[in-house]
Chain A
Amino acid sequence: MSSPKTLVFPFSLEDSYFESYAWAVELALRINARLLPFTTASSAEASQQVYHSLLAAHGYYLQHYPATVQRDLSAFREPMIASGDMVVELTAFLRSHPTDILILDAVFAKAHAVKIQQIVRESAGAIVLPADDPEKSVATVDHFYDLLRRARLYKLPNNFFSSLARDRGAFNYLRRFFQQKAG
């Protein structure tokens, strides 16, 4: 049996990252991957803030993505908290840890725009999520796929969409999408 895919989600406490985190968690569950949040902190106190913030983000996820099936706890891994410059540390981390998909928040990608190609180059594949849409409703299956549709995708593994296609939600979304087009 192959080992589960690893998704890495870099984030900064200075940015509003809950929406993207929730999406990354949902993706991890849908494709049976493991999610590894990545950030930097300069002290034990700062690390504690990271843990608290991630727990709050997880609450956002539970609030906005109601469980339709039993959620697999093994999808979640302890966050990686490095100390130092975010881009340098993230690049070093990606070089030393095989990563299947890197998920980047729009704000994060913008903040590190100059080095984004360098970061993406170090991963097997990357998804850059779109900026928040003020018109959006609460997260739903459609919302998950809407975000994916609007995301920028870089060299995703061939089996990415086939993994996702096993998800019933994808089928329902596409059916509704084509029904709307037909109407």
Chain B
Amino acid sequence: MSIQSLASASDEQLVSAIRQEDRHALGELYNRYYKKVFNKCYSFTRKQDEAFDLAQEALMKAFDHIGSFKGESSFSTWLYTITHRHCLASLKKQGRFQFHTLEENTLVEDDTHDASPLAEETNERAEQELIMYSLINALPEKERTLLNLKYLQGESVENLQSQLNISGSAIKMRLKRSREKLNMLYALSLTYGLEQVLEQLELFTAG
């Protein structure tokens, strides 16, 4: 494939060329996606160094096994699925998110519906947890700290009162607002995609 045609080729055409040992096609396809893969990893970790590590590994996995791409979805979907799974596996391995407790105990404490978590597919649940984890990490520091203290570390409202030096009712009100905000962001993430929501959130908090 010539240099000019590489630039105008579709992803799938490039994959075909790669299968015929066209290394330039591999370079072109890789360059189209490496930053997006990095950004996706960053949306999970919120840390550049970890995002880099995960992106590098995910890209290598994908491009070293490009022969296994069957074309049943678009190349980008295939690549993002590999990235997503790799991020998920890595965070789970590190024990970086344990939101079963959070979900069961509290985030739905004033919710009326039966979440029946056992009925859910493990993958789906892990994905939900990952989204929640990423969203909490993207919240402003005060909200993030409060949620982590209450739901991850299990601090009581009384303890929070003395730690944060604010009244119990103020703490309950802040927790309620944070939960509502989180629920809304979660719904938006399911609708528009996590990356999009995190991007907007970053712009909003930066402004």
Contacts and interface: CB of A to CB of B under 8 A. Distances in A.
Interface string B48-59: 111111011101
Contacts of A60: 27
Contacts, number: 67
A79 B49 CA distance: 8
Nearest to A63: B27
Contacts of B53: 76-78
Interface stretch (A8-16, A46-54, A167-175): A46-54
A105 to B, nearest CB: 20
A62 B34 CA distance: 12
A143 interface: no
A61 to B, nearest CB: 9
A51 B55 CA distance: 10
A51 B52 contact: yes
Contacts of A181: none
Contacts of B51: 51
Contact of B60 (A44, A56, A58, A64): A58
Contacts of A48: 48
A15 B48 CA distance: 22
Nearest to B37: A55
A63 B25 CA distance: 9
B63 interface: yes
A55 B34 CA distance: 7
B9 to A, nearest CB: 15
Interface in A75-89: 76-79, 81
A134 interface: no
Interface string A1-28: 0000000000000000000000000000
Interface in B163-190: none
Interface stretch (A66-74, A123-131, A158-166): A66-74
Contacts of A52: 34-35, 38
**Lowest 10 CB-CB distances: which A-B pairs, in order?**
A59-B30, A63-B27, A51-B52, A55-B34, A78-B49, A67-B64, A63-B23, A73-B57, A78-B53, A62-B63
9 contacts: A44-B48, A51-B55, A52-B38, A55-B35, A55-B38, A55-B55, A59-B31, A63-B23, A81-B49
